[in-house]
Amino acid sequence: MLLWSAAALLLLATAAMAAGVLVVGLLSAPARAIIGPPPADLRAETVAIASTSGATLQGWFLAGRRGGGVVVLMHGVHSNRLSMLRRARLLNANGFSVLLFDFQAHGESTGTRITFGRLEAEDASSAVAFVRQRLPQERIGAIGTSLGGAAALLGARPLAVNALVLESVYSDIKPAVVHRISVVIGASIGNIVAPPLEFAFELLLPPILGVTAGDLRPIDHIAAVTAPILVASGTRDDRTTIAEASAMFERAKHPKTFWAVAGARHVDLEAYAPEDYRQRVLPFLKANLQR
């Protein structure tokens, strides 16, 4: 019986590790996409940014009015700059210059693996440095959705911006992985298999991605942000819960604003509630960036 029990445990552990390798591999696989030229109505310039992550970031730059401020748009995981087009149009129509780009291992940028914010934080910092060099007299803001918001927080030092908008940003990679596994395979089974899979995921992060789970806790970094901050989250988000967003907000320094988007899941909040977005995010950015 002892031998059978030991064999069964070994088999289960091996299966969990194999499943963990699969989960890490799938979640961190590059999200390549052919973007092509910018839409004609944007009047955008195609740019390439050398990131300290080692990647070359592909993006578009839209010039705004003088004194109108500049906003860096940072997309979510497995996405690219196309997901930020609506925001780019909205901001540019209101006088802002805008940079939207693909993170490393996304879209048309180079990179071998998605790192859930670790290398992407280097990309965020490099993108901000690019617009600061391009428009040295302008105040800079950033909007980060999901992975983009984590990248805005996980750098070695706070992102050098004058205003920061965080949308649907995970607080800690451990519950983030558990939530996503449960959503994909269903709560009844997910509640059983997600914890051991997350544990295997955590063990495999260092050898596969060179990062630990402790490195992927945006909640530990948000208190270092000195710029005004707006935290937004959907009240029905089952991947990054409203409770996580509230905990992040509690740790943030003043001045800060919280927007609970009624009824929204883990979706594009601008597309879900465009008028509310216009009434909440635009005034926040104008007040902090525009002269």
Q: Report yes or no: 82 and 90 within 8 Å, Cβ to Cβ.
A: no
Q: Report yes or no: 104 and 123 within 8 Å, Cβ to Cβ.
A: yes
CA torsion sign, 83 to 267 to 172 to 163?
A: positive
Task: Return the pLDDT at 4.
Answer: 54
Q: How many Å is the Cα radius of gyration of the chain?
A: 20
The CA-based dihedral angle spanning residues 130, 78, 148, 199, taken in that order and rounded to the nearest 10 degrees: -130
Q: Report yes or no: 39 and 85 within 8 Å, Cβ to Cβ.
A: yes
Angstrom CA distances, 66 to 96, 235, 289, stand at 9, 37, 11
Looking at domain 43-171+215-289, its CATH class is alpha beta
Measured distance CA(214)–CA(250) in Å, rounded: 20
Measured distance CA(196)–CA(45) in Å, rounded: 47
| Domain coordinates in residue numbering, the chain | 43-171+215-289
Q: Could you give the angle at which helices 85-93 and 274-289 cross, rounded to 10 degrees?
A: 50
Task: Return the pLDDT at 291.
Answer: 85
Task: Return the pLDDT at 183.
Answer: 78
Nearest alpha-carbon partner for 71 in 203, 161, 159: 161
Task: Return the pLDDT at 12.
Answer: 47
Angstrom CA distances, 40 to 79, 122, 205, stand at 21, 30, 41
pTM of this prediction? 0.92
pLDDT tens digit at each of 291 positions of the chain: 655 555 444 454 455 555 556 667 678 999 999 999 999 999 999 999 999 999 999 999 999 999 999 999 999 999 999 999 999 999 999 999 999 999 999 999 999 999 999 999 999 999 999 999 999 999 999 999 999 999 999 999 999 999 999 999 999 999 998 888 787 777 666 667 778 888 888 888 999 999 999 999 999 999 999 999 999 999 999 999 999 999 999 999 999 999 999 999 999 999 999 999 999 999 999 999 998
Measured distance CA(116)–CA(212) in Å, rounded: 11
What would the two tokens of residue 151 be? Answer: 């990248």
Measured distance CA(157)–CA(58) in Å, rounded: 24
Looking at residue 283, its amino acid is: P
Q: Could you give the angle at which helices 173-185 and 187-209 cross, rounded to 10 degrees?
A: 130
The separation between CA 235 and the C-alpha centre of its own chain, rounded to angstroms, equals 18
Q: Report yes or no: 131 and 140 within 8 Å, Cβ to Cβ.
A: yes
